[in-house]
Amino acid sequence: MPIPMSAPKIVNVAVGILMRPDGQVLLGQRPAGKPYEGWWEFPGGKFEPGEDAAQAAVRELEEELDIHVLASQPWVVREHVYEHAHVRLHFRRVTAWEGEPRGREGQQLAWRALDAIDVEPLLPASLDPIRWLSLPAVYAISDASARGIDEWLQCLERWLEGKGLESARGSCAAPSRLLLLREPDMGPASFDRLFNGVLERVQGRDVRLMVSSRHPETYAQLAAEKTRGGIHLTGDDLHTSARDSRTAIEYLQVNYPMVAASCHSAEDLRLAGLLKLDLAVCGPVLPTQSHPGRAGLGWEGLARMIEQTPVPVYALGGLNPAHLDDARQAGAQGVAMQRGVW
């Protein structure tokens, strides 16, 4: 009688992302005697029995870096299988600490800008988070159907000039902007005029343009080619893609520098991770004008939904720039807004 194989033990690891006001992040080199010695990663370490991610981050960063963490926020949870272990990495943004980091275990440390990381080799599990840290705090959503194309394009021009939303763009480490064209009530001719008007205005600027998959895909392909943006999958398209995930992953990665999805559950977020997407939008968090009388998730509900998210999440629904801190405390990358932007 065959003996059933036990599932591999998953090792929970707290990972701390320290970022200076100038946008530089701290990386550490694994010391001699540890697996992958000489490789670079974000600092952190294994949970002790009874610890959660926040507690483990405080202890590990004190032991490794001689700092005391005053505040941190959940971000993403990634699993990676190395030769020596199957790890579940709980990444946390460390927003305040006391002390100047130093390598208490003899490890080398390096502060680097996200677009100038020259230390190598980097542990594979660090690569996606490094890229995602450059995502902005706000994911703006078009509102042209409600305002009219010409009026909304004027709003877009003001936004591109930094008027009205500058403080919500995130740190200097994330100067780019992220814009979603999603106009389900707009006819084909009007959407074509809108898209061309937007593309004319954003080209040459640090703006990534995303197009909802409810529109013809040629628009998303143009956005990818011209702005390094891509496609934003509806919930239905997310599930359709996940049915043949291997084919979908290859297609999306070949055709789009960036892929997003609308997610309405923890299972949707799992699928977003399975498809190796770059970000997800979850909500509604608060009641919205478009769904009067419908209660939102609330911040606690959002936090529960995304507590194990493998991709960065933008909170959506009834939000404005003043909600950014609430979103970050819940574990989100930032806020996705339509009316709150323009």
Domains of the chain are 11-133 (3.90.79.10), 137-337 (3.20.20.70)
| pLDDT given for residue 6 in this prediction | 57
- Tally of CB atoms within 10 A around 120: 8
pLDDT band at residue 240, thresholds of 50, 70 and 90? very high
pLDDT at 7: 60
Closest to 27 measured CA to CA, from 130, 98, 128, 97 = 130
Q: Given a cut of 70, is residue 2 above it in pLDDT? A: no
Task: Read off the pTM.
Answer: 0.93
Residue 183 has pLDDT above 80, yes or no: yes
Least confident of 51-55, 161-165, 204-208, 259-263: 161-165
Average pLDDT, the chain: 93
288 band by pLDDT with thresholds 50, 70 and 90: confident
Q: What is the pLDDT of residue 173?
A: 46
Confidence of residue 206 (pLDDT cuts 50, 70, 90): very high
CA-based nearest residue to 88, from 190, 13, 172, 166: 13
**What is the rounded distance in angstroms from the CA atom of residue 63 to the CA atom of residue 200?**
52
Does position 212 have pLDDT exceeding 60, yes or no?
A: yes
Residue 87 has pLDDT above 80, yes or no: yes
Residues in the chain, overall count? 342
Q: Which tokens go with 203? A: 């080209």
pLDDT value at 142 more than 70: yes
Q: Is the pLDDT of residue 3 over 80?
A: no
Q: Which two three-digit tokens encode residue 226?
A: 């011209």
CB atoms within 10 A of CB 303: 18
